[in-house]
Structure 1
Amino acid sequence: MSIPTKTRQYRYSELGSYDNLVLEEVPLPKLKGNEVLVKTHAVSLQYRDLLIATKQYPSEVLPNLVPCSDMAGEVIGVGEDVKQWKSGDRVCANFFLDKLNHVQTPETDGSALGGAVQGVLTEYRAFPAHSLVTIPPHLSYEEASTLPCAAVTAYNALLSGYTPLKGGDTVLIQGTGGVSIFALQFAVASGATVIAISSSDEKLKVVKDLGAAHVINYKTTPDWDKEALKLTGGVGVDRVIEVAGNATLGRSIGAVRLGGSIDIIGLVGGPNDTGPVDIVVPTIFRSLQIRGLYVGSVPQFHDMVKLITANPKTTRPVVDRVFPFEEAKDAFAYLTSQAHVGKIVIKL
């Protein structure tokens, strides 16, 4: 394949709505010695992308932003200093381009795709060689594009935290979005028991098929924390994957056992939901481990790929819908509807 000199990309003319996305053609910068040029085949969307579009994201983003952080593609060129990649390799870029270990710094935060640096909703993009990870061989590009944020976050929460998940543990998982579905799959692959909650009986049928042992509809059972206690014989779950934030944190605390853990990974309950939640007293007197985490590192991505490759059926990504590149705005609209289970993908 000849090396292109231009790329078509989406860019925000201004933030405020995904309707402000503009499709344009721009020149590609000359490839640096330590960079790899990748042809994008698929991009998956995150709730974060909506927050950024609507100016609700609690961190600064670049002006004239090219959105999105998660992609899968094919290497088509390498810089003169790159030894580990060659044309034809199938790769994903890590969410944080420069997070090469478990330590979070302002510098690693400043390498977040689709926010602090330009994103991946583009036909071609150069990446630092150290930021790339090989795609599991059994996954399509569409499936692999779902891994960098949602899957790595779920892996970090369950298998790279204070105490890694073990067989026999009980995990409560909220909702059926990307992180939640991957957390369910990784928990099942690890031999854990999963309790899943959702407001939709149809979505709960899907998670049952994916291996959830118990399901709770939180619309018909608003005291889902008490139901989780019943399902665990009054003990409580070992850990909670908390994706809603303050909207549900109180009930998550009520559902977890003494000495259990809550991984806070999202705020789909709303970025402005700051209602009072008593964290300090139960955390102290119930010896809880409450951990916030922000995606993960390149080594964690590599480790997760090993888990996915070893458990190809259990961990296959759930892709709800695939939109063509020219219909990217429709993909954002579908994400806004929250009708999906798993991931929404844009195919290039």
Structure 2
Amino acid sequence: MTRMPRQGAAAQRGFTMVELMVSLLLGLLVVAAAGSLFMSNKRVYGATESINRIQENQRGAFEILARDIREAAGNPCMRFDGAYTDKVGVELAAPDATFWSRFPNGVFGQDGTGANGSDEITLYSANSSIHNVEKHAKSADAITVSTATDDLSNGQLLMVCNNDYAIAFSAVGITPTGTTIGHNGAANCGNNLTRPSAGANTCALANANPAYCFWQGVAGTDCPGGFGTSPAYVSAVTSALWTVANNGRGGTSLYRTNADGASEIAEGVTALKVSYKVGSGTDYMNAAGVVAAGGWSQVQAVHVQMTFQAVRGALGKGDVTGTDNAALSRTLDDYIVLRNHQDIQ
């Protein structure tokens, strides 16, 4: 009988407990290393994404704000530099005194009135929705323009101007494909457009002034105040308030407010500081300093400093904080020159 060789006990045994524990330890070390690398990469990605969002908000915010600042005090006709006493003739039955006291200067600021003690700046202009005047031969006539008025609306605040005068009024009679702009509605002082004069903007004063025609007029009873010989234009009058305010999501944002309401421009803006260069001065001063110097009409440039903070959103808490556990933030400065103030032209 042939006998099969008997296998030794040593050949049949498995891993020992020590070997198993060493294997598990090595495996855990590999997993831990891979996990640490993954978490490190995830944190770098999160931080990079947060910085990218901050930079994107910075670009958008400064681009729009800088555009408003450059265009402040702009209008299609002239710089309001005292060619006539009241700068702009306001033929509105209930004019906004605050608005019109600031409008000719184009810029106005306040210190520390926004969220977190941020500054505010308001920019005024009349350089949008511009239409060439083709005819205004009688003062009480509607103004005929060269292009359709589909970008205007009834009740909108407009300004008609040439190289001599500027008059603000509320639009009536606007139709989508029309080319005439009326000024004889109840919101205005009457049928006639009249030359600006010294004193407060009241209907009684406006109605006492001589009637004026802006184009193709004939001197006489219809235009006792004269008629325009230079090109005339109708433009929409606008203002934009820039401020930092609570956004309702536990943080603050940069807002731009105009006649259509407030628009959120950039999230995560925690501070806005604004200072102004007045006339030939070399230093920038805050809004209180400009008021004391009576220098709003002589502001040549604006220094804007904004602080942006990372916003969590869909990111993890660790993605928006630095090594000191404080929120990631960046502060950016810009110096913006106004194009439309008299001593700049």
Range class of TM-score, shorter chain: under 0.3
Instruction: Say which one has the larger Rg.
Output: 2
TM-score (normalised: structure 1): 0.22
TM-score (normalised: structure 2): 0.22
